[in-house]
Amino acid sequence: MPLTIAPINQELTIRKMFTDAKLRKHLSSLGITVNSKLTILSQSKGNIVVFIKGTRIALDRDVVKNIFIG
């Protein structure tokens, strides 16, 4: 399921990321990698705020649509 339609306030696990190498490296530096766990805190017009590894991070909808959870 894409992260764009995932439920809010539930712990989710990232299963796949369809991004280019540059974006994948940037997300990895933020702690967003395959098999990492995150919680969606809020969602607005496809943009989301997630809680991952003790930090809140805002993600643009163009990034979010390429992250899949399981």
Residue 69: the pLDDT is: 94
Residue 38: the pLDDT is: 96
Domain that holds residue 14: 3-69
What's the CATH number where 53 sits?
Answer: 2.30.30.90
- Amino acid residing at 68: F
**How large is the C-alpha radius of gyration of the chain?**
11
Residue 42: the pLDDT is: 96
**pLDDT tens-place values along the chain, 70 residues long:** 999 999 999 999 999 999 999 999 999 999 999 999 999 999 999 899 999 999 999 999 999 999 999 8
Instruction: Write the burial class of residue 32 (CB in 10 Å: 0-12 exposed, 13-18 middle, 19+ buried).
Output: buried
Number of domains in the chain: 1
What global pTM score does this model have?
Answer: 0.88
Q: What angle do CA 68, 69, 70 make, to 5 degrees?
A: 135
Under 8 Å between Cβ of 36 and 52: yes
Residue 19: the pLDDT is: 94
